[in-house]
């Protein structure tokens, strides 16, 4: 039994390099990276790693692999690329992931694919989402604690998050359901968060679930998160309150859109939604909704001979270089955030 991972990537080089190196160190036999836009720095590093397959999604690729059918939405292209990887992969199980999602423990994956019933075709990796500590400067872009989905969030969300509670869904700012690994075979295909039976297009319900198996870094830095949300302002499906990310995500986008020239308010918002103070950490720990086990891929990367700067400052520089149009469009906001520390309302109101 073997496993691999496929991702469509469009992030700064340090994140892509860390993603590839970490999953190699965790035992992935194949890593298929589809570059939605060229990234020469990242491509040069990851292409030299054993088991990493690099595809640049240029017009020639879309014509060759998909008959010129390049879907407009990134999620559509992700599904196309996942199916392209499945068709040429030799692994038994393939995980479809994003570059900001990291398998927690390769040994857990290895045990799962070894022990799973032969009639089961899907393994779901349940997600934990990174939150930064409000009272601590992050030493690297993966620093922080990890919160779990809170099924009783409606009972106590406002108690722990105050006025920021409405911007979270089940206690998380991003997706809730994790990602799936799919057994090799032509009868099934990946969606973004599920797998489908190709003949009927129905979601496969029979699956093994692995708790705490995937770490989601929904914004590696404040700049990264804010930019990620503001890029969605021009995408109609994200601007729909009933859109693909849910009403709470829509509220995040709308808040940032409305305050795009108010960096202090954005800093306050970020602290309320993406950071946790000591009292919140204690409360969530008491409910079993938090893991304080640190995640640091740097030793694994060093073991592979990879030297990459994962500091927040280096990442933000790379992000600004990669996204000059967004930086220019929201110049007032990002300049103000660079001068602004934490927001002035660090605890739930």
Q: What are phi and psi of 22, to 5 degrees?
A: -60, -45
pLDDT at site 315: 97
pLDDT confidence bin for 348, thresholds 50/70/90: very low
Q: What tens digit of pLDDT does each residue of 330-339 get?
A: 999 999 998 8
How far is it, in rounded angstroms, from Cα 203 to Cα 197? 6
Boundaries of every domain in the chain: 3-339
Instruction: Give 69: exposed, middle or buried? Use CB within 10 Å, 0-12, 13-18, 19+.
Output: exposed
Q: What tens digit of pLDDT does each residue of 43-65 get?
A: 999 999 999 999 999 999 999 99
Contact 104, 294 (CB under 8 A): no
Mean pLDDT over each residue of the chain, to the nearest integer: 91
Q: What tens digit of pLDDT does each residue of 59-87 get?
A: 999 999 999 999 988 888 999 999 999 99
pLDDT at site 261: 94
């Amino acid at each position: 039994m073997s496993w691999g991972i496929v991702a469509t990537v469009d992030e700064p080089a340090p994140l892509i390099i860390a993603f590839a190196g970490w999953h190699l160190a965790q035992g992935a036999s194949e890593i298929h990276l589809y570059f939605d836009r060229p990234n020469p720095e990242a491509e040069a590093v990851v292409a030299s790693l054993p088991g990493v397959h690099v595809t640049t999604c240029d017009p020639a690729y879309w014509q060759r692999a998909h008959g010129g059918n390049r879907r407009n939405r990134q999620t559509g292209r992700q599904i196309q690329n996942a199916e392209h990887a499945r068709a040429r992969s030799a692994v038994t199980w393939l995980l479809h992931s994003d570059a900001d999602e990291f398998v927690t423990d390769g040994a857990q994956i290895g045990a799962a694919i070894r022990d799973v019933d032969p009639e089961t075709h899907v393994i779901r990796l349940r997600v934990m989402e990174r939150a930064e500590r409000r009272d601590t400067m992050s030493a690297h872009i993966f620093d922080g604690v990890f919160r779990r989905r809170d099924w009783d969030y409606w009972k106590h969300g406002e108690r722990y998050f105050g006025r920021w509670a409405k911007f979270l869904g089940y206690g998380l700012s991003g997706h809730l359901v994790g990602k799936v690994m799919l057994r090799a075979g032509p009868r099934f295909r990946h969606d973004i968060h599920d797998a489908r039976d190709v003949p009927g297009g129905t979601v496969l319900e029979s699956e093994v679930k692995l708790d705490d198996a995937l770490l989601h870094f929904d914004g590696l830095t404040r700049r990264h998160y804010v930019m990620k949300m503001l890029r969605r302002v021009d995408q109609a499906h994200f601007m729909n309150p009933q859109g693909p990310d849910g009403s709470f995500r829509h509220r995040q986008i709308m808040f940032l859109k409305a305050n795009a020239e108010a960096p202090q308010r954005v800093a306050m918002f970020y602290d309320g939604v993406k950071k946790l103070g000591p009292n919140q950490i204690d409360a969530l720990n008491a409910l079993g909704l938090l893991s304080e086990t640190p995640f640091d891929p740097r030793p694994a990367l060093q073991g592979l001979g990879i030297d990459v700067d994962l500091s927040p400052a280096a990442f933000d520089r790379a992000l600004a270089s990669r996204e000059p149009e967004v930086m220019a469009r929201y110049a007032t906001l990002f300049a103000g955030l660079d001068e602004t520390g934490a927001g002035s309302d660090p605890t739930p109101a």
